[in-house]
Structure 1
Amino acid sequence: MNSFSTSMDLVEFIGKLGDLKDEHYHMTLAFSAMIELMIDKGLISRQELERKTAELDQLMTTGSTYPMA
């Protein structure tokens, strides 16, 4: 059985997916700009960011929970 009852439902779904992609792009762009500004202002270093990113990636790929201080 098809999960979309009509062709119009499929068109609406595809439109919503396109909107999500645009929203994701703009959020990623804003996030990247904030990171670059923090690095430029000396609030964090690229090395600190890379270390924390690797740490969080490892936690996510192993299914571990984030340690709370």
Structure 2
Amino acid sequence: MCRYSCNPQYVADITMIVGWIVLCASAVAALVGSAGIVVLIAAPFAEEPWLEEQYGSAFKDYEAKARRFF
């Protein structure tokens, strides 16, 4: 999976949250779930500078081959 997505764990977490929102079918679940999805979408943007600093060109090569989410 990591060959296709740099963040497969976030993709799975977002998918689970969407399922939870659908199963709950409530406005509160949609609000809380949407907040969680926003955090999970923002997380890679915070991590990537650190990864570039730690792994340098190896991370840049990996990032060029695998997309951020899909």
Instruction: Please report the TM-score for the alignment, with normalisation by the length of structure 1.
Output: 0.46
Larger helix percent: 2
Higher RCO, 1 or 2 (CA under 8 Å, sep at least 6)?
2
Larger Rg: 1
The TM-score with structure 2 as length reference comes to 0.45
